[in-house]
Structure 1
Amino acid sequence: MNSTITPISLTDLAIAFIPVLFGLYLLFRWSLNVKQASYALLRMLSQLLMIGYVLSYIFYSDNAWLISTILLMMVLISSWIALDSIKDNRLPLLKGAIVAITIGGGATLILMTQGVLKLDPWYQPKILIPLAGMIFANAMNSVSLSAERLMSELNNNNTYQVARNQALNAATIPMINSLLAVGLVSLPGMMTGQILSGVSPLIAARYQILVMCMIFSSSIISAFIFLVMAQKTTLIQKPKP
């Protein structure tokens, strides 16, 4: 098996944007938010190109403080983005999002890297940063879904308990669907990347199981903590009369 991945030139990479342009055209045809989609694509492109250069430096760093600072930034940024769909209540709920993602994602990250992978030193950036990214991103999505659904249910004059339960259920749907589909409908990113790099599919499957466990647990725990803390926010304690 070839253990090397073919490098992608910028010219070849441009081909990947052909279906993207077609997708934007379809949004334009139906008068949907093509500007937001275009902005998101441009931001994705710039962020990934930039992070490629940054990670080249970080991965060869041996500074625990630098890695800790990066993890903190990931938590803060993901917490802020998670509440983007409820901007009117973003600041009152921000503390809950930060605590939820820190505990739900951070505890999972520590268990997986120290209990399963046994990283030594604990801050090995080549392993820690990618895993933290997956964990915090899924925790962010879970908090975002639960926050949006929570406000929607409360605006429909449901009690907080009903709204909370519906919000947690909504947050779990994408994760449960991915668990049902993995290996049958899709080969997730971790497993695909390892297979492409020449790793045995049996070993790649074990790492993917690790990934699915950590994003499942971090997503649910983070959403649960957020919803518990959100009840203390006076803006959403009671449904509208």
Structure 2
Amino acid sequence: MSNDIMNLQLWQIGAAYVFIALLLVIVRKRGIGREREILMASVRMTLQLVLVGYVLVYIFESTNPLMTILAVGVMEAFAIDNIFKRTKEKLTGKLKKIIAFSMVTGTLTSILYFLFVVIRIYPWFNPQYFIPIAGMIIGNSMTGISLGVKGIADGMRNKRALVESSLMLGATPAKASKEIVNSAFDSAILPTINSMVGMGIVSLPGMMTGQILSGTSPLIATKYQIAIMLGIVGSVALSVILFVILGYRTFFNHQDQLIQVED
């Protein structure tokens, strides 16, 4: 296969914004009132990607491992902050610490195993592999934990009577909330499982598509996509299970009584 990739000119990128114009026309005609939000999202997406592009060019040309570590650290910080902002529930300080711990521990464990054992990159800080793979793993784990937070909070609120009845009958907080914890974990990993089911038939994943467009053999791109998808599954599972088994305890006080969960 040819390794030449078609470079997009500015006018071609501009032409792609016709799809945003189409969306604006639809929401305007239907009276949905999302025009400002769509425009802001489009502008923010464009500026962020342009900025990231220039930053990555600088990092890729650098041979300093600190730049790679810093980039991954920034991604982790933004992901954790995004979880805090996307969660409508009132998060306690302890729960925020658990979210951060679960996110960092789960993702870094998966990233390091994937890069050092599965791919075995050299040098270890090679940003061409480290940063894109870290981004995919961190992004998916962020979504998983966000769903886990919602599942735990909703469960503790909606099944409060059941949990309290179990506690009065002598059950421990762990046993009383086991069903809620399992349900939250299941809900959090379900989107990742569903994406695996349709992958390759319903859709071509972004990583695989990017490699094919850059001239990589589809068979090589397939191998990488299978490997990274398995890495994502592992990271989401590890991050979410850490969160739910540690996070549920924050809904109980030191006397093992269920704390009121605000609507």
TM-score (norm 2): 0.84
Given the alignment, which residue of 221, 232, 241 partners 1:224? 241
SS at match of 1:232: helix
- Listed as ranges, the matches of 1:203-214 within 5 Å are 203-214=220-231
Report Cα offsets for 1:8-59 as digits up to 9, x if no partner.
Answer: 1121111222122322343443435443343332221111010011100001
Q: Which moved more, 1:9-18 or 1:205-214?
A: 9-18
Q: Does 1:61 align with 2:62?
A: yes
Between the aligned partners of 2:88 and 2:116, the Cα distance in structure 1 is 36
Checking the alignment, whether the CA contact within 8 Å between 1:84 and 1:90 is kept in structure 2 is no
Checking the alignment, whether the CA contact within 8 Å between 2:89 and 2:153 is kept in structure 1 is no
Between the aligned partners of 2:251 and 2:260, the Cα distance in structure 1 is 12
Checking the alignment, whether the CA contact within 8 Å between 1:146 and 1:223 is kept in structure 2 is yes
Q: Which moved more, 1:71-80 or 1:144-153?
A: 144-153
Given the alignment, which residue of 201, 213, 218 partners 1:184? 201
Checking the alignment, whether the CA contact within 8 Å between 2:4 and 2:214 is kept in structure 1 is yes
Q: Does 1:116 align with 2:118?
A: yes
Query: Could you list the runs of 5+ residues in structure 1 that have no partner in the other structure?
Result: none
Q: Match of 1:2?
A: 2
Root-mean-square deviation (CA), in Å? 2.2
| Counterpart residue identity of residue 203, structure 1 | I
Between the aligned partners of 2:31 and 2:149, the Cα distance in structure 1 is 29
- Listed as ranges, the matches of 1:163-202 within 5 Å are 163-202=180-219
Q: Does 1:78 align with 2:79?
A: yes
Q: Match of 2:167?
A: none
| Counterpart residue identity of residue 189, structure 2 | T
- Listed as ranges, the matches of 1:9-48 within 5 Å are 9-28=9-28, 29-48=30-49
SS at match of 2:122: coil
Between the aligned partners of 1:166 and 1:22, the Cα distance in structure 2 is 39
Closer, same or farther: CA 151–226 of 1 in aligned 2, 3 Å: same
Between the aligned partners of 2:252 and 2:84, the Cα distance in structure 1 is 15
Report the count of equivalent residues: 241
User: Could you tell me how far 1:62 is from its partner in structure 2?
Assistant: 1.2
Between the aligned partners of 1:156 and 1:85, the Cα distance in structure 2 is 20
User: Could you tell me how far 1:222 is from its partner in structure 2?
Assistant: 0.8
| Counterpart residue identity of residue 163, structure 1 | I
Between the aligned partners of 1:75 and 1:123, the Cα distance in structure 2 is 17
Checking the alignment, whether the CA contact within 8 Å between 1:146 and 1:168 is kept in structure 2 is yes
Q: Which moved more, 1:63-72 or 1:85-94?
A: 85-94
Q: Match of 2:173?
A: none
User: Could you tell me how far 1:176 is from its partner in structure 2?
Assistant: 0.9
Report Cα offsets for 1:89-117 as digits up to 9, x if no partner.
Answer: 34523211211111111111111110011
Report Cα offsets for 1:193-238 as digits up to 9, x if no partner.
Answer: 1112222211111101111101111111111111122123247972
SS at match of 1:211: helix
TM-score (norm 1): 0.91
